[in-house]
């Protein structure tokens, strides 16, 4: 046996992830960094030597979840004092030292861009180096985005898909948003490095790549190459069958990017997440979004002109402090007009350090809830109709895995990112052709279009 099999692991780590795709990938990087230092993953916090929470602070509720989870983990820490408890990600970046005053049993706080320093801090703590205790490594660094891609421990890889961060941070200043504080200003990777990663993934059997950035369409490398150039280059990589990118800012949806999207079809998936936030130009102005209602709608139209099969998803905030009933009606109208396939809606949550604080939190909680419910009911009706049109057709499904609750049922996604459940033989990462027999607003149901070979 090789010596690596005899070597005892440095320890076991457990990691819990909240929030967006960027956090999912950051957790894969932290896992890779720890495994490079000899740690092995466990899914049971009770037996872990290192317990990490990779956190989200986008809304107050997300942040509060972190502190209640820390309360739960305290009991574990009391029983196993040698265990290292770390808080990483956006709450770490934003709260820094304050985490220690609320939860003094936390050992280490690591910022969003300090992935590589994590194993070193952990090892120092476990060796009893108390100077590493309560270190808040939250100065904005750039080692996460340049993390060596062959060391990332990707959870999605066995399922044939992978996230690839191309730009980190955000240069916008939307008045409600905390991301510029937690993620810093934009840093872009070199295009050749990104394409190298895509080739590396293709060689490992990855079929679908999704480029990530808080504002992914702001991507521009030092040589001036932009997201459009990247889409064309990625479409040339053999073995890659699906390309996605998220999240796009409507103000940076240029005609030339749209042309590149058309050129990258059919590999470029016909689904775009384009957060509108509000259908009211007055609210969009107060949010400092950099486009108005008609500017947004004209971009949707320009995309549909180039790619008629294009489908859309969006984010909406209801109850922004200046939002009136009439503003909200305009949001409902825009949602009816665009006919999104997916809509994420959020009640406005006041965040520390954001410009919108000056407006107060003027919309009462019950009004926010009522608007949220009306919006969701409207969207559900739209999704019902949008999903029903797939019944009777054959769709291509990239299989995620077996359905957790129903044995014999597999689940995956179409290029339009629709969830498909089907009965039959399959495996994670496989491409299946499925006849859609039934639809709900949230998923399609069917059977493989050809019987599996015996």
Task: Using CB under 6 A, list all residues that contact ligand F3S.
Answer: 170, 172, 174, 177, 179-180, 214-215, 249
Q: Which stretch binds ligand SAH (CB under 6 A): 326-334, 346-354, 405-413, 423-431?
A: 346-354
DSSP string, 371-410: HHHHHHHHHHHHHHHHHHTTTTSEEEEEEEEE-SSSTTEE
The answer to whether 361 contacts ligand SAH (rule: CB under 6 A) is no
Question: Between 198 and 276, whose beta carbon lies closer to ligand SAH?
Answer: 276
> Which CB, 160 or 250, lies closer to ligand SAH?
250
Q: Using the minimum distance from each CB to ligand SAH, give the nearer residue, 184 or 275.
A: 275
Q: Is 25 in the site for ligand SAH (CB under 6 A)?
A: no
Asked whether the beta carbons of 96 and 136 are under 8 A apart, the reply is: yes
Radius of gyration of the chain (CA): 23
Q: What proportions of the chain, in percent to the nearest 5, are helix, strand and coil?
A: 40, 20, 40
Distance between CA atoms of 254 and 217, rounded to whole angstroms?
Answer: 9
Picked from ligand SAH, ligand F3S, none, the partner binding residue 180 (CB below 5 to 8 A depending on kind) is ligand F3S
Q: How far apart are CA 337 and CA 279, in angstroms?
A: 10
Contact by Cβ (8 Å): 303, 258 = yes
Q: What's the DSSP call for residue 268? A: B
Check binding of 116 to ligand SAH (CB under 6 A).
Answer: no
170-194 residues labelled b (16+ CB within 10 A) or e (exposed): bebebbbbbbbbbbbebbbbebeeb
63 binds ligand SAH (CB under 6 A): no
Give the Cα-Cα-Cα angle 326, 330, 334 (nearest 5 degrees). Answer: 170
Q: Does 271 bind ligand SAH (CB under 6 A)?
A: no
Q: Which stretch binds ligand SAH (CB under 6 A): 6-14, 89-97, 304-312, 343-351?
A: 343-351
Antiparallel, parallel or unpaired: β 50-55 and 11-17:
parallel
The interface mask with ligand SAH, positions 233-262, x = CB under 6 A, is --------------x---------------
Whose tokens are 């989200």? That residue is 56
Q: Binding of ligand SAH at residue 348 (CB under 6 A)?
A: yes
Q: Which is nearer to ligand SAH, 20 or 140 (CB)?
A: 20
Q: Which of residues 171-190 bind ligand SAH (CB under 6 A)?
A: 176-177, 179
Whose Cβ is closer to ligand F3S: residue 103's or residue 188's? Answer: 188
Binding site for ligand SAH (CB under 6 A): 20, 58-59, 176-177, 179, 214-215, 247, 275, 277, 315, 317, 346, 348-349, 351
């Amino acid at each position: 046996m090789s010596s690596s099999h005899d070597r005892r692991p440095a320890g076991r780590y457990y990691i819990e992830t909240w929030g967006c795709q960027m956090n999912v990938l950051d957790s894969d990087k932290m896992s890779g960094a720890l495994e490079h230092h000899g740690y092995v993953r466990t899914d049971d916090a009770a037996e872990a030597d290192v317990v990490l929470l990779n956190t989200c602070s986008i809304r107050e509720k997300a942040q509060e979840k972190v502190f209640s989870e820390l309360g739960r983990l305290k009991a574990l820490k009391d029983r196993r004092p040698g265990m290292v408890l770390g808080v990483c990600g956006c709450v770490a970046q934003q709260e820094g030292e304050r985490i220690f005053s609320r939860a003094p049993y936390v050992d280490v706080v690591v910022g969003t861009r300090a992935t590589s320093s994590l194993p070193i801090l952990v090892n120092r703590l476990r060796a009893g180096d108390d100077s590493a205790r309560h270190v808040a490594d939250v100065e904005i660094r750039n080692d996460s985005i340049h993390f060596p891609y062959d060391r990332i421990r990707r959870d999605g890889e066995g399922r044939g898909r992978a996230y690839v961060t191309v730009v980190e941070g955000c240069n916008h200043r939307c008045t409600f948003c905390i991301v510029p504080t937690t993620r810093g200003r934009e840093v872009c990777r070199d295009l050749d490095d990104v394409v190298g990663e895509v080739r590396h993934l293709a060689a490992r059997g990855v079929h679908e790549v999704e480029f990530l950035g808080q504002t992914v369409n702001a991507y521009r490398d030092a040589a001036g190459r932009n997201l459009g150039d990247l889409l064309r280059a990625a479409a040339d990589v053999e073995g890659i069958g699906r390309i996605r990118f998220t999240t796009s800012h409507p103000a940076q949806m240029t005609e030339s990017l749209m042309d590149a999207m058309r050129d990258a079809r059919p590999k470029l998936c016909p689904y775009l997440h384009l957060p509108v936030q509000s259908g009211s130009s007055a609210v969009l102005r107060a949010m400092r979004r950099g486009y108005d209602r008609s500017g947004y709608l004209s971009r949707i139209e320009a995309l549909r002109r180039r790619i008629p099969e294009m489908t859309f998803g969006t984010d909406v905030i209801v109850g922004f402090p200046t939002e009136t009933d009439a503003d909200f009606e305009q949001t409902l109208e825009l949602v009816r007009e665009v006919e999104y396939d997916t809509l994420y809606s959020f009640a406005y949550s006041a965040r520390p350090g954001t410009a919108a604080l000056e407006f107060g939190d003027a919309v009462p909680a019950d009004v926010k809830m009522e608007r949220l419910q009306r919006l969701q009911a409207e969207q559900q009706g739209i999704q019902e109709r949008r999903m029903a049109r797939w019944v009777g057709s054959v769709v291509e499904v990239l299989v995620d895995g077996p359905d957790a609750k129903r044995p014999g049922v597999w689940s995956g996604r179409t290029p339009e990112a629709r969830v498909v459940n089907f009965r039959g033989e399959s495996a994670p990462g496989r491409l299946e052709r499925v006849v859609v027999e039934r639809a709900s607003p949230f998923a399609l149901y069917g059977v493989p279009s050809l019987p599996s070979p015996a």
